[in-house]
Amino acid sequence: MGKIPERPEMIFPQLTADYRDVFGDELVALILYGSGADQHYIPGKSDLNFLVVLTERGMEDLEKVMAVTARWRKSRVATPLFMTKDYIEAALDAYPIEFLDMKINHAVVYGEDVLTALEIRPEYLRLQVERELRGKLLLLRQRFLETEGKDKELRGLIRESLPAFLSSFKALLWILGREIPRERPEIVGAAARAAGVGAETFRKCLLVREGKDNYSPGEIMALFREYLREIAGLCRRIDTMSFPPAG
């Protein structure tokens, strides 16, 4: 503990033991999700995100795990999400994108796999996709003005905002019954084709996020304007889309 693991699975035994020591049989599951559960984990840069599922009784003793979560933060283990099975089922209509992300990309470290069998209803997912895209578009326009056109700030805004759109792209593909690729550029391309919008702008933004571009300040400004236009177009497209019925 305290060292950054080269691979997430290196910490699984000790992390499990720590949570078992605190919660015993009240620990239902310990599940890794996010970049740590796929090939996008980068030691020292990626946080490790865990879902801790407890019984109702275990949730009443949440303060007992404070010291454990504090120690593991030194190894870039983010403070986990703590839920009960009933909470997960009740929250599927409110946070379908987040639970879909966990469902399609997770690794069970201990206990019950509570994610694979989740039934995420397309109508809830579609509403959140539209809400997220429209909300992010409003915020991006506001933050764009606050950058005053400065290259560093524009790059930071692209890096910060893009992951939320990737989640919406995956959700869109899932609603339409399309295969969700594992690599981010392929996710962007597949979603753009499905929605009938251009993918090149989002691919360029991925390069910026990953630090693999050599764009000039003028090109970054032009890219950001394209980014805003494509997201606005995607919002309009989703408004008129026909989605397959649930079930």
* Domain CATH for 107: 3.30.460.10
H or E element that contains 125: helix 122-146
Residue 145 and residue 42 in one domain: no
Residue 13 and residue 72 in one domain: yes
* Domain CATH for 170: 1.20.120
Asked, for residue 117, whether it belongs to a domain, the answer is no
Asked, for residue 76, whether it belongs to a domain, the answer is yes
Residue 104 and residue 170 in one domain: no
Asked, for residue 84, whether it belongs to a domain, the answer is yes
- What does the pLDDT look like over 7-36, one tens digit per residue? 999 999 999 999 999 999 999 999 999 888
Structural domain tally of the chain? Answer: 2
Residue 187's closest CA among 205, 170, 202?
170
CA–CA separation, 81 and 222 (whole Å): 38
**Can you read off the two tokens belonging to residue 74?**
């030194």
Asked, for residue 245, whether it belongs to a domain, the answer is no
Residue 105's closest CA among 164, 33, 183, 30?
33
CA–CA separation, 169 and 238 (whole Å): 11
Residue 137 and residue 32 in one domain: no
- What does the pLDDT look like over 76-91, one tens digit per residue? 999 999 999 999 999 9
Task: State yes or no: pLDDT of 247 exceeds 60.
Answer: no
Residue 206, class by beta-carbon neighbours within 10 Å (0-12 exposed, 13-18 middle, 19+ buried)? buried
Give this prediction's pTM: 0.82
- What does the pLDDT look like over 169-216, one tens digit per residue? 999 999 888 999 988 888 888 988 888 787 889 889 989 998 999 999
Residue 15's domain comprises 8-111
CA–CA separation, 65 and 184 (whole Å): 35
Asked, for residue 73, whether it belongs to a domain, the answer is yes
